[in-house]
């Protein structure tokens, strides 16, 4: 990885003193200015290469676009909801967080929520403070033998599982990235969400907030659950549909909820907070001395590593990462993006979720960092959560340039693509068992179509494209001549209506790379 020059960093919130100390020990000038208004931050940020925030500072597109000097935004915590990652990516700014800094603290709070939901401790405490002694009102239930569903089996989900297993809970889970055999090694049986919901006595969510996880627990989801299921959200507000949760609580379908996060913080609508079966906190997941110390030091160390050209940990925008690597790695990451885009476009249902993803990279040239980011770029094309993503890498020198093979499942069908880099350019070698005679250059406007071999096929396609005002710039056909196979045409522009090709092809897809 090529080093990046960071001479000065602005810290806009209160972080652990170790953050400043580590940065200054490595020759980086640090200024701490907490509680700035947006206008003040927009004016101040122009003087710095880096910005370190926690969760209170909203790093909007206006702030990012107010400077041409900013190279990195460091979030001392796990999420980046308060950072406009898209705007940063367009501006070429790396966004990184501290993936493990608050893991233990967030996991412990989740466990506390689960225990309090089972024994009504907060409600009983308030009753006692009001002078009451009501033992029957706060009858609880044991955790022993109950089923805990963990949605999101990353660092925090794993720690929650190990702790609640000590109470004798059965732990089941779902995660699109963690292989089932890995989670099984720490006692969590993975399954689809459809199978998980009906089994759970308790559910806790530990996913990032993204379009595919907004409203993950909804009216439809609660209807699939056991009556009286209890839920915990110490991850991100919005993963549980708050209106649906309130309806489930009122109907008794949900027996209780532990909430540390809300869509709006602090919440103006107090319906959930005031509900007798809800226990809540003001976003305290990372609010421990230990977590803040770790997050502050971790973000500083990550920035220093980046400056020295060492490991780049916690970066969330893979597109920007490409510019920080060597030219070879940059090309391989572009290959990963292109292969993911081709598979997304060519599946029979381009907007449908991928049911499984198998990513295999081969070759010495694909080093550790590049391999991880090729995988990440491909997974970015999964528009919704997928049940399983398996990743593997072989260093065997099968091809000097390195190979990237991706297989995905969509609506019961399987699609496979194999790509490589030739002469510094990403190319597609094979698409769903159609091996191209000439590698497809993954650049420009591309039309992929599936059809039976016919001597008149190319002439017919060219004629139909010409009628749409589109010129053919390149053509790649399959080496085989039997059955329905994939072809690729490079075009001067995208065709307005793919239905124009229906007379001669069985399936068509187009994209710009």
Q: Which residues are known catalytic residues?
A: 236, 265, 283
The string over 422-459, giving b where at least 16 C-beta atoms fall within 10 Å of a residue's C-beta and e elsewhere, is eeeebbbbbbbebebeebbbbeebbbbbbbeeeeebbe
Q: Are 197 and 225 in contact (CB under 8 A)?
A: yes
What does the buried/exposed string (b/e) look like for 193-217 if buried means 16 or more CB atoms within 10 Å of the residue's CB? Answer: eeebbebbbbbbbbbbbeebbebbb
For residue 444, what are the contacts with CB-CB under 8 A and spacing of at least 6? 473, 490, 491, 512, 513
Q: What would the two tokens of residue 430 be?
A: 């094979």
CA distance 169 to 286: 25
> 161: which 2 tokens?
């599982």
Using alpha carbons only, give the angle 432, 436, 440 rounded to the nearest 5 degrees: 100
DSSP letters of 411-456? TTEEEEEEEEEETTEEEEEEETTEEEEEEEE--SEEEEEEEE--TT
Round the CA-based radius of gyration of the chain to a whole number and report it.
26
End-to-end C-alpha distance for the chain, whole angstroms? 25
């Amino acid at each position: 990885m090529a080093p990046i020059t960071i001479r000065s960093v602005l810290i806009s919130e209160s972080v652990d003193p170790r953050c400043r100390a580590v940065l200054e020990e490595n020759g980086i000038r640090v200024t701490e200015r907490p509680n700035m208004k947006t206008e003040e931050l927009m004016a101040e940020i122009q003087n710095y290469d880096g910005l370190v925030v926690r969760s209170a500072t909203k790093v909007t597109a206006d702030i990012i676009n107010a400077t041409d000097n900013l190279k990195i935004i460091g979030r001392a915590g796990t999420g980046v909801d308060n950072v406009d990652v898209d705007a940063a990516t367009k501006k070429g700014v790396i966004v990184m967080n501290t993936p493990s800094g608050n893991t233990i603290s967030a996991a412990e709070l989740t466990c506390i929520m689960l225990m309090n939901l089972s024994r009504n401790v907060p409600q009983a405490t308030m009753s006692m403070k009001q002078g009451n002694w009501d033992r029957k009102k706060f009858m609880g239930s044991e955790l022993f033998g109950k089923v805990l569903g963990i949605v999101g089996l990353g660092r925090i989900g794993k720690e929650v599982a190990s702790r609640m297993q000590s109470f004798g809970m059965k732990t089941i889970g779902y995660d699109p990235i963690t292989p089932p055999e890995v989670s099984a090694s720490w006692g969590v049986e993975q399954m689809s969400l459809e199978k998980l919901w009906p089994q759970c006595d308790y559910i806790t969510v530990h996913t990032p907030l993204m379009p595919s996880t907004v409203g993950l627990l909804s009216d439809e989801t609660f209807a699939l659950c056991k009556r009286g299921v209890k839920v915990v959200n110490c991850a991100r507000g919005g993963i549980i549909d708050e209106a649906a949760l309130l309806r489930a609580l009122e109907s008794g379908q949900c027996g209780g909820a532990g909430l540390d996060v809300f869509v709006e913080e602090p919440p103006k609508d107090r319906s959930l907070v005031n509900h007798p079966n809800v226990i809540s906190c003001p976003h305290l997941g990372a609010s421990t001395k230990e977590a803040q110390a770790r997050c502050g030091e971790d973000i500083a160390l990550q920035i220093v590593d980046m400056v020295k050209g060492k490991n780049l940990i916690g970066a969330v925008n893979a597109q920007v990462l490409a510019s920080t690597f060597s030219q070879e790695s940059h090309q391989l990451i572009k290959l990963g993006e292109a292969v993911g885009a081709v598979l997304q476009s060519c599946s029979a249902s381009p907007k449908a979720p991928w049911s499984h993803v198998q990513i295999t990279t081969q070759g010495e040239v694909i080093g550790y960092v590049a391999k991880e980011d090729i995988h990440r770029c491909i997974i970015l094309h999964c528009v919704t959560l997928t049940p399983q993503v398996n990743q593997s890498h072989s260093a065997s020198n099968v091809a000097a340039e390195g190979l990237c093979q991706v297989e995905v499942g969509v609506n019961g069908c399987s699609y496979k693509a194999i790509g490589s880099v030739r002469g510094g350019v990403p190319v597609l070698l094979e698409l769903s068992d159609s091996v191209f005679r000439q590698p497809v250059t993954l650049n420009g406007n591309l039309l992929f179509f599936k059809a039976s071999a016919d001597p008149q096929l190319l002439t017919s396609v060219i004629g139909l494209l010409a009628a749409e005002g589109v010129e053919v710039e390149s053509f790649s056909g399959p080496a085989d001549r039997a059955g329905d196979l994939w072809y690729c045409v490079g075009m001067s522009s995208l065709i307005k209506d793919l239905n124009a090709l229906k007379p001669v092809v069985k399936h068509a897809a187009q994209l710009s790379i």
